[in-house]
């Protein structure tokens, strides 16, 4: 069985993520989307909340060979534990490349059995990021073109609570 891991912080999942997950699901027998920590980011949604949003978006997209998990350690250790064939990442622009390339080489050093596979983002998602979604939503902008429709209420509710604090 060819198993791929699709790691990320998914804070929150965007239509760009969902496109990469959907396309990965067609290339591999099984895909595990793993919610991980990015040392450079402090997330808005908790790990459990990010998993719930992903599960909702994946169910709505009717992708059946994809499951959601979370892991706090190294991606290479998770890939090894799951005996993954591939680590799938989405590439948007050249600006993504250097960092992604560095991570791919490091992960290969730690777990050579998993190949990092880069899928180029769909042109309409080129500019899209979770940070942009949060920025627009915080200023009451409409993010319905950026995230799966089913998670819009959770984003609104989270930001409402954030404003209360």
Q: For binding to ligand PNS (CB under 6 A), which residues are involved?
A: 7-9, 36, 38, 41, 74-75, 103, 106-107
Measured over the CA atoms of residue 48, residue 38, residue 4 and residue 125, the dihedral's sign is: positive
CB of 105 to ligand PNS, least distance (A): 8
Q: How far is CA 65 from each of CA 58, 97, 143, 155, rounded to the nearest angstrom?
A: 10, 28, 28, 26
As a residue count, the chain comes to: 165
CB of 68 to ligand PNS, least distance (A): 14
- In the bound state with ligand PNS, the residue whose beta carbon lies nearer, of 31 and 75, is 75
Neighbours of 63 (CB within 10 A): 18
CB of 135 to ligand PNS, least distance (A): 16
- In the bound state with ligand PNS, the residue whose beta carbon lies nearer, of 64 and 101, is 101
* Active site amino acids: 17, 41, 92, 130
Half-sphere exposure of 131 (CA within 13 A, CB side): 6
- In the bound state with ligand PNS, the residue whose beta carbon lies nearer, of 17 and 158, is 17
């Amino acid at each position: 069985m060819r198993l791929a891991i699709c790691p990320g912080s998914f804070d929150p999942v965007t239509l760009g993520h969902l496109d990469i997950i959907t396309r990965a699901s067609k290339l591999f027998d099984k895909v595990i989307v793993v919610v991980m920590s990015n040392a450079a980011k402090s997330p808005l949604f908790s790990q459990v909340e990010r998993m719930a949003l992903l599960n909702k978006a994946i169910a709505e997209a009717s992708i059946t060979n994809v499951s959601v998990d979370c892991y706090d350690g190294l991606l290479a250790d998770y890939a090894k534990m799951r005996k993954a064939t591939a680590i799938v990442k989405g590439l948007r622009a050249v600006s993504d490349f250097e960092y992604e390339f560095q991570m791919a080489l490091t992960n290969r050093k730690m777990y050579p059995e998993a190949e990092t596979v880069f899928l180029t983002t769909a042109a309409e998602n080129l500019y899209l990021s979770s940070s942009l979604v949060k920025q627009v939503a915080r200023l009451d902008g409409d993010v319905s073109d950026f995230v799966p429709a089913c998670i819009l209420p959770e984003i609104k509710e989270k930001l409402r609570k954030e404003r209360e604090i």
